[in-house]
Structure 1
Amino acid sequence: MTPSKTTTTGGITLLEQPESSVVDMWGEIDVALRSEASAALANALDRDVPVVIDTSKVTFMDSTGIAFLVQFYTIGSEEGLQVSLRNPPTVVTDVLEMLGVIDIFPGLPTHHVEHDEPQHQSAV
C-alpha cells in the first residue's frame, strides 16, 4: 500500500467566542472547501452574534471563495447579523474588487484594479 498524501492546502473553521463567531480562513480557499464553508455558515448563523470572517492568512481565493463571502454576508444580513471581514490581504480584496462586490463590506480599501477594457470618454 502506498501512504495517503495530504492534499489540504487551506481550511475554514468556526471559532466561537463569547461576543462573536470568528470564521477563520487560511491558505487556498476554493471549491474543495465547500463542506467546511457550509458548516461554518450554518453554525455561525445558529449563534445569533456578530460574525467576523478572518481572511488574514488566505494565500489564494477563487470565485468559489468569493461566493462564500458574499453568501455569508447576504444570509447574515437577512438574519440581522453584522458580518465583517478582518484584515483581508490583497489576494482577497483584489478579487472582491474585480468581481464588483467589494462594496458589500464597508471600510475595505480599494486598489482600483485595472481591467483590459479601453477607457472611453464621452463627448459633451
Structure 2
Amino acid sequence: MVGTSEILATGAIRLVEEAGHSVVELEGEIDVALRGDAGAALANALERELPVIIDASRVTFADSTGIAFLVQFVTIGHEEGLQVSLRNPPQVVVEVLEMLGVHGMFFDA
C-alpha cells in the first residue's frame, strides 16, 4: 500500500545520447512524480551542448508540471544556445500548449 506522501511514477523521462544530438524520451504520464527525472534529463542534455529532440510520441497525459518541464527545457535550451525541438506530441499535449498560449515556443505559427 502506498502512503499518502508517496507518489508512484506511471511514466518515464530518459535521456538517450545519440551522435550529434540528445533525445529526451517522454513516456506515459508526465507529472510531478517525474520531477527528479526531468531535472536530471535537462541537466545532462544541456551538459552535452548538442541539439535536443524531445520525443513526446508516447505521452498519454501531462499535468502542469509536465508542461512546465517542456517550457523550461525549451527556455533554458535557447538561453544556452541550443536548438530544442518537440517531436510528435499527442493531441492532448498540443491542446494544453495551445490553451496556455505557449504553442508558439514549440511550433511555427
Higher helix share: 2
Deviation, structure 1 residue 54: 0.3
Alignment pair present for 1:83 and 2:84: yes
* Higher RCO (C-alpha 8 Å, min separation 6): 2
Alignment of 1:77-116 (within 5 A): 77-107=78-108
Q: Which runs of 5+ in 1 are unaligned?
A: 109-124
**If the length of structure 1 is used for normalisation, what is the TM-score?**
0.80
Match of 1:43 in 2: 44
Higher strand share: 2
**If the length of structure 2 is used for normalisation, what is the TM-score?**
0.90
Match of 1:57 in 2: 58
Deviation, structure 1 residue 8: 3.0
Match of 1:23 in 2: 24
User: Deviations along 1:53-72, whole A, 9 cap, x unmatched?
Assistant: 00000000011111000000
Q: Percent identity?
A: 67
User: Deviations along 1:72-95, whole A, 9 cap, x unmatched?
Assistant: 000000000000000011011011
Q: Which runs of 5+ in 2 are unaligned?
A: 2-7
Match of 2:13 in 1: 12
Q: How many matched pairs? A: 103
Following TM superposition, the consecutive aligned residue runs of length 4 or more in structure 1 with deviations greater than 2 angstroms are none
